[in-house]
Amino acid sequence: MLMSFCRFFYILYIAFKYRLDELVLSSIRHPWAVRLLRIVRFGRAPKLPRGERLRLALESLGPVFVKFGQVLSTRRDLIPLDVAEELALLQDRVPPFDSQVSAKIVEQALGAPTNKLFKHFEVDPVASASIAQVHFAVLHNGREVAVKVLRPGMREVIDKDLALMRTMARLVEKTGPDGRRLRPREVVAEFEKYLHDELDLIREASNCSQLRRNFVETPERVELLMVPEVHWDYCAHNVFTMDRMRGIPVNQIQRLRDAGVDLKQVARKGVEIFFTQVFADGFFHADMHPGNIRISDDPDTFGRYIALDFGIVGSLSEFDKNYLAQNFLAFFRRDYRRVAQLHIESGWVPADTREEELEGAVRAVCEPHFDRPLSQISLGQVLLRLFQTSRRFNVEIQPQLVLLQKTLLNVEGMGRDLDPELDLWDTAKPYLEKWMYQRIGPQGLKQQLKKEAGQWAQIMPQLPRLVFDNLSRPDTTPVVLQELRQLRVAQEQNNRLMTVLCALLAVIVGLVLWAVKVL
């Protein structure tokens, strides 16, 4: 608890050091709060633009806050353009740590000097992010690779921030009007799980390998996404070595145009990649900010997406996938009654919720937006309004879908940059309809039978014996009924005994009170 309070006051110190109070004064409506901020503020504001001050503050506060800034940088419809452009520097330009320390980490993790491990190792990092930094290298066989090295001391820093977040979550749950419905402690626990996953680079390498297999081994997906190959002999819990990938960052629009990339096609392809990962595989890259996405400019792979940084991935159960797909299709078809039914069937709202009321609330939020192009639609604003409306119906926040919501917002932000006229809904609808047909149509039945064939091959030969054993087994129904009758008699006896004991206790208490009164 003491650690959490110390961290809290340090956050306040950084906020006032960079005069972030000026960013919020204009949005505070309560006069007493404004007066309080003006009393406690100290020092002069640095002569820096507001976006740069915010970026420097987030960098000072560590990786959790840098992650927050990365997400904000993709939401140019929700924050001022100058702030978004400055926060975009957090995606791959966080100040690096000492290069000699990085080389030592590699040598200790892999058990040999860098000049023996690699034909060439670039000491200066090519990119630096909140959790790790990347060095280019060349293997002795001539293969060009990228070596990712974890920042030292990261676990201690993250644990301090997470302790504070857990404390705040408990406070919100106990005092907030929507505390229990929002399930803040479960959301923080989910966020903690993914942050700790990022600290294990072996896990990240495994995520990279799985995502590569999902796309490389499926012929119709090869043209969609490129994922680097993992070099396992050069990996450890704090070192991750993969193929070096060359491409143009997805947010450098002018470079993409100059290279001849079809931006409209790339924008549509990004939506398809997202929905393929979510609904076909239930395994998706959940950190798709522009710093982690490239577009290949190599003649052999021109125009393909390149994915980097696999520390945060999301996974969905079959129930989640089916539920989400049906919800998306219902939204696309403007079938708001079906949306209401799905929420009730899934248990996300109380069973006694009236369908027509929930349907009307969802319609009021979504209907005004559907006929507009993406340039005029903010999915973030739609989700915010849905969230506000859901209070009336006690909708519970599902922690397992927090990453999916974040990733969808990132996809929308990238789509807006590439093609302001892209209609996210119209682009995704045909793909989802095709996917649903494959799931519930003849092809889906065939796939399920093929999937279960191995189990049936073991069970089928045993069926005659199992049926015979079951039919020849003596009927145990009379025995079971007799045991139930004995249990009922015993329970009745216990009930009578409890009644007598309660009566005796009442008499004793009455006598004691009478004696006290007489004395």
Most confident of 57-71, 369-383, 451-465: 57-71
* Highest averaged pLDDT of the listed ranges 38-47, 317-326, 441-450, 451-460: 317-326
When pLDDT is cut at 50, 70 and 90, the band that residue 223 belongs to is confident
Q: Where are the domains of the chain?
A: 2-90, 155-195, 259-463
- pLDDT above 80: residue 472: no
User: Residue 328 pLDDT > 60, yes or no?
Assistant: yes
Higher-confidence residue: 458 or 82? 82
Higher pLDDT, 246 or 494: 246
pLDDT at 452 over 60: yes
Contact between residue 295 and residue 250 where contact means Cβ atoms under 8 Å apart: yes
Q: How confident is the model at residue 449 (pLDDT cuts 50, 70, 90)?
A: low
Q: Are 201 and 239 in contact (CB under 8 A)?
A: yes
Q: Give the mean model confidence (pLDDT) for residues 428-435.
A: 74
Query: Can you tell me the distance from the alpha carbon of 167 to that of 161, in angstroms, rounded to the nearest whole number?
Result: 10
| Closest C-alpha to 97, from 127, 64, 55 | 127
Q: What is the pLDDT of residue 206?
A: 96
Instruction: Share the mean pLDDT of the chain.
Output: 76
Mean predicted confidence (pLDDT) in 328-355: 80
| Average pLDDT value for residue range 249-255 | 91
Q: Residue 389: is its pLDDT beyond 70?
A: no
Task: Kindly tell me if the per-residue pLDDT of 243 is higher than 90.
Answer: yes
Please check the confidence at residue 158 and state whether its pLDDT lies above 60. yes
> Token match 């045991």: residue?
483
Query: Tell me, what's the pLDDT at 30?
Result: 45
For Cα atoms 176, 180, 185, give the angle at the middle one, nearest 5 degrees: 95
Q: Tell me the β-bridge partners of 138.
A: 120, 144
For residues 185 and 170, the answer to whether their CB atoms sit within 8 Å is: yes
Whether residue 170 is predicted with pLDDT greater than 50 in this model: the reply is yes
pLDDT of residue 8: 74
Residue 236 is given by DSSP the state B
What pLDDT sits at residue 75? 57
Which residues carry out catalysis? 287
The pLDDT value given to residue 222: 82
- Output b/e per residue, 255-281; b: 16+ Cβ within 10 A: ebeeeebebeebbbbbbbbbbbbbbbb
pLDDT of residue 454: 64
Confidence of residue 33 (pLDDT cuts 50, 70, 90): very low
Kindly state the average pLDDT of the residues 244-254. 92
Residue 259 to residues 247, 248, 303, 384, 421, Cα–Cα distance (Å): 11, 9, 10, 38, 21
